[in-house]
Amino acid sequence: MTVIKALIKRNMKLFFRDKGMFFTALITPAILLVLYISFLGNVYRDSFVTNLPEGFQLPEKLLNSLVGGQLISSILAVSCVTISFCSNFLMVQDKATGSIRDLTIAPVKGSALAISYYIASLLSTLLICLAAMVLCFGYLAVIGWYLSFTDVLCLLMDVILLTLFGTALSSIINHFLSTQGQISAVGSIVSSGYGFICGAYMPISSFGEGLQKVISFLPGTYGTSLVRNHSMQGALQEMSNYGMPQTAIQEFRDAMDCNLYFFSRPVSIPVMYLILGGTVALLLTIYILICKRKKRA
């Protein structure tokens, strides 16, 4: 236990002290923020307003909360995965710099190393994402707060679950990498690509039908939907209180990916949790098996 604790401490210190690695992890959320500030926020706001039933108006605060909920759900959903990839790149960097040799010449089990990378990456990502979540809540409180205590708790659970998912996925992928070049390549692909395929940059409902079907096989999509559901739930409820027709609200939920469909069949929130939780369990099992199968050359 002392060994694992020491390794986790070392890994986390390295991640937070390596400015390159730390700031790279923040690139995707930063891009999202810039996109929303520069034009996406306005695009969504206009879209919300034009899609309201004729003659129906919503207060500014509620509109702000809807756009804000969309923004924070995208940022949180993407950050949990991209940051976990970046923090978990330490296991690759250790191979690239040769530091791994200094760890494995000691009487340390491979499983202890694997666990320490996983937990360190998980904790580092959670620290950043929870800090980001607090900032997001602060932002919502300023522009329009409609979240209930249950929504906040659910969002916390979503972030933890998505981080577990991102860390497990990155542990498996990073396990097969060994050079700085591979880190850059995978880092770029994940940073730029994950936002699109999880529906953070653009709602999945705006993609073509074929692509939507493909994306419905990716578990991360359901993670984003969970975060979106809980970050917009309060505002959507408030729309209902203002007398917005349920059909219009449902259309709105479809458009924002709060409702997801697997080959036209609606996926409920408990099922989304099951998919994400099951995927985490499956990925962790694969990671453990890979680590066990790894034999000395």
Q: Which is nearer to another protein, 60 or 102 (CB)?
A: 102
User: Contact 106/7 with Cβ under 8 angstroms?
Assistant: no
Q: Which stretch binds another protein (CB under 8 A): 10-18, 194-202, 228-236, 254-262?
A: 10-18
Q: Which two tokens stand for residue 181?
A: 């070049």
Q: Which is nearer to another protein, 5 or 292 (CB)?
A: 5
Figure out which of the listed residues 30, 49, 101, 274 binds another protein, where binding follows CB under 8 A: 101
Quote the CA–CA distance of 162 and 157 in Å, as a whole number. 8
CA 174 to chain centre: 18
295 binds another protein (CB under 8 A): yes
Figure out which of the listed residues 208, 217, 243, 297 binds another protein, where binding follows CB under 8 A: 297
Q: Which stretch binds another protein (CB under 8 A): 12-20, 26-34, 159-167, 239-247?
A: 12-20
Q: Which stretch binds another protein (CB under 8 A): 105-113, 134-142, 203-211, 244-252?
A: 105-113
Q: How far is the CB of 130 from another protein (least distance, A)?
A: 24
Count of CB atoms situated within 10 Å of the CB of 23 = 11
* Eight-class DSSP state of 198: T
Q: How far is the CB of 108 from another protein (least distance, A)?
A: 5
* Eight-class DSSP state of 53: P
Beta strands in the chain (DSSP E): 260-262, 265-267
98 binds another protein (CB under 8 A): yes
SS3 261: strand
Figure out which of the listed residues 36, 106, 184, 192 binds another protein, where binding follows CB under 8 A: 106
Q: How far is the CB of 259 from another protein (least distance, A)?
A: 45
Q: Which stretch binds another protein (CB under 8 A): 91-99, 143-151, 255-263, 270-278?
A: 91-99
SS3 268: coil
Count of residues that interact with another protein, criterion CB under 8 A: 25
104 binds another protein (CB under 8 A): yes
Pairing of strands 260-262, 265-267: antiparallel
Q: Which stretch binds another protein (CB under 8 A): 11-19, 131-139, 256-264, 266-274?
A: 11-19
Figure out which of the listed residues 33, 35, 52, 103 binds another protein, where binding follows CB under 8 A: 103
Residues in the chain: 297
Quote the CA–CA distance of 255 and 74 in Å, as a whole number. 14
Q: How far is the CB of 109 from another protein (least distance, A)?
A: 9
Phi/psi at 47 (5° precision): -65, -45
Q: Which two tokens stand for residue 51?
A: 């899609």
Burial class (CB in 10 A: 0-12, 13-18, 19+), 235: buried
Q: How far is the CB of 94 from another protein (least distance, A)?
A: 9
Q: Which residue has tokens 């409609």?
A: 146
- Here's the x/- map for another protein, 15-54, by CB under 8 A: it reads as --xx------------------------------------
Phi/psi at 265 (5° precision): -95, 125
Q: How far is the CB of 23 from another protein (least distance, A)?
A: 14
Element (H, E) at 206: none
Binding region for another protein (CB under 8 A): 2-3, 5-7, 9-10, 13-14, 17-18, 97-99, 101-108, 295-297
